[in-house]
Amino acid sequence: MFFREKILSNGNKLFIREAAGIDASDLLKYLERISGETDFLTFGPGEFRMTEDEERFYLDKCLQAENCLYLLALVDNEICGTLSFEAGIRPRNRHTGEFGVTVLEKYWGNGIATVLIRALIEWAENGGIIKKINLRVRTDNRRAVLLYEKLGFIIEGKIIKELMINQKYYDHYWMGLELSD
């Protein structure tokens, strides 16, 4: 089980741990909350339509897989951030996957996303399976793009009209980080 502890710049103690099925209810409440805090996600309020049983099954399945990781960031037992990573299931693509990271708005600017992504990279390097980590990020999310670049990710391409929010299209960058063999 992956676990880390860190003191944030604001003095709060941050705990990073793997999510499990028992977290399903709290995680779904968290996802609904963040869906209303930013338009940079792939879902908005009411659009994450997974039941508690489906979420529990997914989290437990991820916990058992060698190339899947779902991390929770907690401050005072409150979920304040998440990172989900899932790689392919077939031999040809099990070494590469995509992640998404979220942080509650009240915790923005405290380095939580950085801690989560570094934890993913460490997990991948130590696991010996993952050789490539990918992500998609809106091209207008400069803060996120700069963070990913700071952590070694490079822009590998651009996806046109990836999202439509309020009748406006948004492009994404496809970014990747190659790990050493």
Task: Concatenate the DSSP letters of all residues of 97-133 into one string.
Answer: EEEEEEE-GGGTTSSHHHHHHHHHHHHHHHHSS--EE
β-sheet bridge partners, residue 68:
86
Tell me which DSSP letter residue 53 carries. Answer: H
What percent of the chain is predicted at pLDDT more than 90?
A: 94
- The pLDDT of residue 67 is above 80: yes
Rounded to an integer, the average pLDDT of 121-131 is: 95
Q: What is the pLDDT of residues 6-29, one digit of tens each?
A: 998 888 999 999 999 999 999 999
Task: Determine the pLDDT at residue 45.
Answer: 93
Number of Cβ within 10 Å of residue 95's Cβ equals 17
Distance in angstroms (rounded) separating the CA atoms of residues 166 and 1: 41
Is residue 22 classed as helix, strand or coil in its secondary structure? helix
Considering the domain 3-130, what is its CATH architecture? 3-Layer(aba) Sandwich (3.40)
Q: At which residue do the structure tokens 């990020």 appear?
A: 137
Task: Determine the pLDDT at residue 179.
Answer: 97
Distance in angstroms (rounded) separating the CA atoms of residues 169 and 162: 7
Distance in angstroms (rounded) separating the CA atoms of residues 155 and 163: 18
Question: Residue ranges of the domains in the chain?
Answer: 3-130
Task: Determine the pLDDT at residue 153.
Answer: 98
- The pLDDT of residue 1 is above 80: no
- The pLDDT of residue 75 is above 90: yes
Q: What is the pLDDT of residues 93-121, one digit of tens each?
A: 999 999 999 999 999 999 999 999 999 99
Residue 147 backbone dihedrals phi, psi, to 5 degrees: -60, -50
Select from 138, 133, 173 the least CA-distant residue to 157.
173
Report the phi/psi class of residue 109: left, alpha or beta, with left for phi > 0 and alpha for psi in -120 to 50.
left
Rounded to an integer, the average pLDDT of 57-80 is: 96
- The pLDDT of residue 180 is above 90: no
Distance in angstroms (rounded) separating the CA atoms of residues 128 and 176: 17
